[in-house]
Amino acid sequence: MITRLATSMRPAAFAPALTLTLIALLVVSATLAKVSPAHAQLRIDITQGRVDPLPIAIADFIGSTSEGDRIGREMAQVISGNLARSGLFAPIDKKAFIQTAAQLKARPRFGDWRLINAQALVHGATQVQADGRLRVEFRLWDVFAEQQMVGHAYFTVPANWRRVAHIISDVIYKRITGEDGYFDTRLVYIAESGPPDRRQKRLAIMDQDGANHRFLTDGKTLVLTPRFSPTSQEITYLAYYNDKPRVYIFNIDTGQQEVLGDFPGMSFAPRFSPDGNKVIMSMAKNGITDIYTMDLATRTIRRLTDSPSIDTSATFAPDGSQVVFNSDRGGRQQLYVMGSDGSNVHRISFGKGRYATPVWSPRGDLIAFTKILGREFYIGVMRTDGSGERLLTKGFLVEAPTWAPNGRVLIYFKQTPSDKQGRGHTSKLYSIDLTGYNEREIVTPLDASDPAWSPLIP
C-alpha cells in the first residue's frame, strides 16, 4: 500500500528549506529535498539508562479557520503526548509560552523560548486546500543554536490529521535521538472483562496512544494471542470457535476471518514470518506439542520440531533465517534457537527458573522473554546466544513482551493476584524502555492482555 510520489515542489516562501510530504488517505509520500545544514547539536542518547528528558515546546498548530485551529490544537496535544510518554522529552506547559503560536509563523524569537528553558521548539500550521485536502506543515528548531532541525509539509484528507501528528512525532523523535520512532503504530490485544472463571475475551485494536480503539470480535468466543502481519493488515490469533482451538487469520479491512489449516489437534501460538508468506505455529496432539509452518499461498505445512516435549511460542528472527521457541525437552521450559528449517536446535537459556514467550527484537540483536523464578514473573532480554541476560521488570504475573518497531521499547501485560471471591484480579498493559526505565501503563477501556505491537504503518 505504499506509493512513493516524487514531487519537486518549490521550497516554501520562507527559509529555511521545508520538505514536503504528501499523505493521501493512507498513501504516504516522503520526498526528502535538501534540508537546512543544521549541525545536530541537540541530541538525546537513548542507549543510556536514565535520561534527563529534553525540555521541548510544542506550540498549537495554527489553522486558517476555527476548525483548523481545533485540529491544530489536538495535533500539538497528540505530539506532546507521544513525546512525553517516550520518557525522553518533557513538553513544556503551554501557559509558560511567551511568543504566541500566531507570531511563530514568521520566525521564532529564540530568546523567548530560551527564557522558559525550551531546548527544542515545534510549531506548525494547518490549512484546508481548495481541493478539500488538509495541508499540515511543521518545523522543529534547535532553540540554542537558533537553527531549524527539520521542516515538512503533508497533504492528507482532514480526517487523517491524527496520523500526521504521529508521523510528525516520529520525525521529531528520529531527528533528536537518531533512532526511528514508533508512534505511527497500532496495538492489537485481548480485551478482558468479567469474573476469572467466565472471563470474556475480545480481540481489540487501537493506535499506540489508545486512540481509535475498536473491538474486532464480540466476546462470545474465547480468543487469545493475536499477532500482526508485517503489513499490519492482518492479525493471526487463536480462537475457540465450536470448542475447537485453532489458528485464524483476521483481515482488518474486510473483517473476514479464516481458519488456517485443518490440523488433527489443537493449533495455537501463531506468528507471521517477517516476509508475511508463512505463519509459524504449534500443534498439540496426544500430549505432544511441536512447531510447524504453513505457507499461506500454497497451504503447505512443514514440521520443524519432532520431540515428545512441549515445543511452542516459536518466533522468527527479523531476517527469517532462525526461529526461537521454548521447550521443556530438557525437563523444564527453556529457550532454544534453530534454523528456519528446523536444523541445528540449540539451547540458549541456562539461568535458574523457566523461560517462555521469546520474541526476537526487530533490530535482531536481542530476544525478550518471560521468566518464571520462585514466586515472581519477570520480563527480560538476552542476546541471541543467551548471554547478557537482563531483567527489566517483575511482578506477580508479567507476561508476553512485544517490541516497538525500533527495538527500544517493550509492551507486556501485568496481572494482579485475586482473593477468594476473585476480587483484585486485573490485567493491564504496560510499556517499559529497554533500559528498564520509564515503565508506564497503557490505558485501555477494559482489562487487557496478550499485546502485540505493529510495525510502522506502511
The answer to whether the peptide bond before residue 16 is cis (omega within 30 degrees of 0) is: yes
Site string for another protein, 59-98 (x = CB under 8 A): ----------------------------------------
Distance in Å, CB of 416 to another protein, minimum: 8
Q: 203: helix, coil or strand?
A: strand
Distance in Å, CB of 263 to another protein, minimum: 12
CA 316 to chain centre: 17
Q: Contact, 360 vs 316, CB < 8 A?
A: yes
Q: Tell me if 396 contacts another protein by CB under 8 A.
A: yes
Q: Contact, 149 vs 18, CB < 8 A?
A: no
Distance in Å, CB of 268 to another protein, minimum: 5
Distance in Å, CB of 311 to another protein, minimum: 8
Q: What is the DSSP letter of 62?
A: B
Distance in Å, CB of 234 to another protein, minimum: 20
Cell of 60: 498549537
Q: Give Cα separations from 438 to 97, 183, 345, 368, 371 (angstroms).
A: 27, 16, 36, 17, 20
- Residue closer to another protein, measured from CB, 198 or 214: 198
- Residue closer to another protein, measured from CB, 268 or 292: 268
User: What are the residues whose beta carbons fall under 8 Å from the beta carbon of 311, sequence distance 6 or more?
Assistant: 282, 289, 290, 291, 305, 325, 326, 327, 329, 336
- Residue closer to another protein, measured from CB, 105 or 425: 425
User: What are the residues whose beta carbons fall under 8 Å from the beta carbon of 330, sequence distance 6 or more?
Assistant: 347
CA 380 to chain centre: 18
Candidates 53, 158, 245, 261; binder of another protein (CB under 8 A) is 245
- Residue closer to another protein, measured from CB, 417 or 445: 417
Q: Tell me if 450 contacts another protein by CB under 8 A.
A: yes
Candidates 43, 109, 299, 332; binder of another protein (CB under 8 A) is 332
Candidates 320, 330, 388, 417; binder of another protein (CB under 8 A) is 417
Which span (18-26, 109-117, 336-344, 410-418) binds another protein, by CB under 8 A?
A: 410-418
Distance in Å, CB of 340 to another protein, minimum: 19
Candidates 35, 224, 301, 345; binder of another protein (CB under 8 A) is 224
Site string for another protein, 259-298 (x = CB under 8 A): ------xx-xx------------x-xxxxxx---------
Q: Are strands 147-156 and 19-24 parallel, antiparallel or unpaired?
A: parallel
Partnered with residue 259 across adjacent β-strands are: 248
With CA atoms as reference, report the closest residue to 432 among 401, 389, 458, 453.
401
User: What are the residues whose beta carbons fall under 8 Å from the beta carbon of 298, sequence distance 6 or more?
Assistant: none
Partnered with residue 56 across adjacent β-strands are: 91, 120
Distance in Å, CB of 325 to another protein, minimum: 10
- Residue closer to another protein, measured from CB, 122 or 281: 281
With CA atoms as reference, report the closest residue to 215 among 223, 77, 404, 78.
223
Distance in Å, CB of 444 to another protein, minimum: 18
Q: Tell me if 329 contacts another protein by CB under 8 A.
A: no
Q: Contact, 416 vs 399, CB < 8 A?
A: no
Q: 197: helix, coil or strand?
A: helix
Q: Tell me if 356 contacts another protein by CB under 8 A.
A: yes
- Residue closer to another protein, measured from CB, 155 or 430: 430
Q: Give Cα separations from 457 to 1, 130, 176 (angstroms).
A: 10, 28, 21
Q: CA-CA distance, 315 to 280, in Å (whole number)? A: 7
Site string for another protein, 333-352 (x = CB under 8 A): x-------------------
Candidates 111, 194, 330, 422; binder of another protein (CB under 8 A) is 422
With CA atoms as reference, report the closest residue to 399 among 434, 451, 437, 447.
451
Which span (16-24, 78-86, 162-170, 417-425) binds another protein, by CB under 8 A?
A: 417-425
- Residues in the interface with another protein (CB under 8 A) total 47
Q: Contact, 73 vs 126, CB < 8 A?
A: no
Q: Scan residues 176-205 and list those touching another protein (CB under 8 A).
A: 195-197, 199, 201
Q: Which helix (H) or strand (E) holds 393?
A: strand 390-395
Candidates 225, 340, 349, 444; binder of another protein (CB under 8 A) is 225
Contact positions toward another protein, by CB under 8 A?
195-197, 199, 201, 222, 224-225, 238, 243, 245, 265-266, 268-269, 282, 284-289, 310, 312-313, 326, 328, 332-333, 356-357, 370, 372, 396-397, 399-400, 415, 417-422, 425, 449-450
